[in-house]
Amino acid sequence: MMGIANVSSPEVFVLLGFSARPSLEPILFIVVSGFYVASILGNGIIILVSCMDVHLHTPMYFFLGNLSFLDISFTTSIVPQLLVNLWGPQKTISYGGCVVQFYISHWLGATECVLLAVMSYDRYAAICRPLHYTVIMHPQLCLSLALASWLGGLTTSMVGSTLTMLLPLCGNNRIDHFFCEMPLIMQLACVDTSLNEVEMYVASFIFVVLPLGLILVSYSHIAKAVMKIGSAEGRRKAFNTCSSHVAVVALFYGSILFMYLQPAKSNSHEQGKFIALFYTVVTPMLNPLIYTLRNKDVKKALGRITLENCCGFVGSRRHI
């Protein structure tokens, strides 16, 4: 039994990543490091501002704070190991580290799909039912929707990732990617993976296709409501209310669809790595940028917090 376990579960996995292009790795190390730091800072600021400024204690910023925390967690589950592998000659990750990585990335990926759908419903309520918005999006419902997003993602990750972890790998340990992803672990298995594939397709439909459908339905109703607004100023305000969320959804789903709808060519897998790099590193950094650049409320809140801190610091210096 011990011999079978050793064959089935290698002690380490080799993440091939971008090792086929060694001259590119130092450049990627610098670029990825920069984007990672910017992502942590940007999303951290969003969380801080949403908590500290009472004007942002609304459903929209509650969900945005959840999204920012999710983005920090998602990038942190992947990027540190990626940087280690880009910097040194060793391209390995421990078996336990790989398992943790695909559990967490699967959990947070599914959670983000549901959370984006929840945020689109919030925008639908704000624009299509403005007089009843505070009644519809009451704090208990917001908390329930956020918990459902996190627990739903956790549930599908526990099921899918556990089924994958139970597959015998028979010594196969080379993953042609820069992080441990569930479909790639399944490809290493030396047994039939039909059950795993069925589970993956069902989970993809529930946690990717259905949320996208809900987002499209929400925005079709929003578009109809906006078209009925008589004044150009009113339409502009309604558009600004949704534009940041639309941009984030387009970035997230656009990169996913582009990656999984690629033709089966020899170079498509290499392209897929760069697209995966985009949605794991670049997109989480762009999300806070989109919400701060296109959102007057966040800008004002940042200004108020900065002014209060500066004034408090000057006042304390005077007392000294």
120-135 pLDDT tens trace: 999 999 999 989 999 9
Per domain, the residue ranges of the chain are 12-262+269-296
Query: How confident is the model at residue 284, as a pLDDT?
Result: 92
- Pair type for strands 12-15 and 174-175: parallel
Per residue in 211-266, pLDDT (tens digit) is 999 999 999 999 998 888 878 887 888 787 788 889 899 998 888 777 666 555 54
Per residue in 268-291, pLDDT (tens digit) is 667 788 888 998 999 999 988 888
Identity of the amino acid at 93: I
Query: How confident is the model at residue 265, as a pLDDT?
Result: 52
Angstrom distance (rounded) from CA 80 to CA 73: 11
Residue 151 phi, psi (nearest 5):
-70, -35
Query: How confident is the model at residue 137, as a pLDDT?
Result: 95
Q: In what order do the strands lie in the sheet with 174-175?
A: 92-94, 12-15, 174-175
Homologous superfamily in CATH for domain 12-262+269-296: Rhodopsin 7-helix transmembrane proteins (1.20.1070.10)
Query: How confident is the model at residue 320, as a pLDDT?
Result: 52
CB 253 within 8 A of CB 212: yes
Angstrom distance (rounded) from CA 185 to CA 164: 7
Query: How confident is the model at residue 261, as a pLDDT?
Result: 63
E strands in the chain: 12-15, 92-94, 174-175
Task: Label residue 6 by pLDDT band (50, 70, 90).
Answer: very low
